[in-house]
Amino acid sequence: MRIAMINEFSQSAKNAQVVGILKEVVEPMGHEVVNTGMTTEEAPLQLGEPGYLTYLNIGVQAALLLNSGAVDFVVTGCGTGQGALMACNMMPGVVCGYCIEPSDAYLFLQINNGNALSLPYAKGFGWGADVNLRNIFSVAFGSPKGMGYPNEPGRKESQNRNAAKLVEVKAAVAKPLVQALSDMDQDIVKKSLTPRFLEVFNAYAKDEELKAFVKSLL
């Protein structure tokens, strides 16, 4: 599994810590980590400058990476985790859960079988935060998704049906991604296409329509 870490401007100072712990936990499991979030290198940037990511940009990046097949999963977040959660979930093809503790990650992935997690990196991120992150990532990526919980006859099948139906419903009520991004404020979309994002997208994206769309914006 290829996992992207995406964070916005307010948590740029935590990018290296979160990416480091994520790699430490999941790489021995055989997963790969890529980083398209805002780091301390971009921290001096101001609102409106290219490379300055808000939670709105997180939603664009997550949608393009997941829908193109460039990554299989997104770990994201902001100060509270709520903005990134909303920005991701309004996008087609992204099913994001809110995660404060390891049980949140486990239950969301076993029951709802989503493809993104949003964490708070400021609120409650105090002493022992590194331990909490390790435990979250361990249970999130240490076993197959969609196995159901609790372990009762028929529970897995029922939960998997509901998770699949949620994806169908979202596809029915949402615009196709290219149309959605074309109808958005183009300044938000274009500022999401940072060099770090483009490096990952260009290397791994499989969807030709999305590749052509991104290319047209550059």
> In this structure, are residues 92 and 177 in contact, taking their beta carbons and an 8 Å threshold?
yes
Query: How much is the pLDDT for 206?
Result: 98
Query: How much is the pLDDT for 46?
Result: 84
Query: How much is the pLDDT for 164?
Result: 93
Map tokens 């159901």 to a residue. Answer: 148
Domain that holds residue 172: 2-217
What percent of the chain is predicted at pLDDT more than 90? 91
Structure tokens at 216: 């047209």
Q: Please state the rounded mean pLDDT for residues 185-201.
A: 96
* pTM of structure: 0.95
2-7: strand order across its sheet: 32-35, 2-7, 73-78, 116-120, 96-98
On the question of pLDDT at 51 being above 90, the answer is: no
Query: How much is the pLDDT for 114?
Result: 97
Map tokens 């994001």 to a residue. Answer: 96
| pLDDT-derived band at 149, boundaries 50, 70, 90 | very high
Query: CA-based diameter of the chain, in Å?
Result: 54
| pLDDT-derived band at 42, boundaries 50, 70, 90 | confident
Query: How much is the pLDDT for 45?
Result: 83
Question: pLDDT, tens digit, for every residue of 60-111?
Answer: 999 999 999 999 999 999 999 999 999 999 999 999 999 999 999 999 999 9
Total domains present in the chain: 1
Query: How much is the pLDDT for 153?
Result: 84
Query: How much is the pLDDT for 47?
Result: 81
Q: Please state the rounded mean pLDDT for residues 170-188.
A: 94
Q: Please state the rounded mean pLDDT for residues 181-201.
A: 96
Mean per-residue pLDDT of the chain: 95
Query: How much is the pLDDT for 50?
Result: 79
CA dihedral (209, 168, 119, 73) positive or negative: negative
The beta strand positions in 83-212, using DSSP E, are: 96-98, 116-120
Q: What is the CATH number for 186?
A: 3.40.1400.10
> In this structure, are residues 5 and 37 in contact, taking their beta carbons and an 8 Å threshold?
yes
Query: How much is the pLDDT for 48?
Result: 79
| Pick from 123-137, 147-161, 181-195, 203-217: least confident | 147-161
What percent of the chain is predicted at pLDDT more than 70? 100
| pLDDT-derived band at 151, boundaries 50, 70, 90 | confident
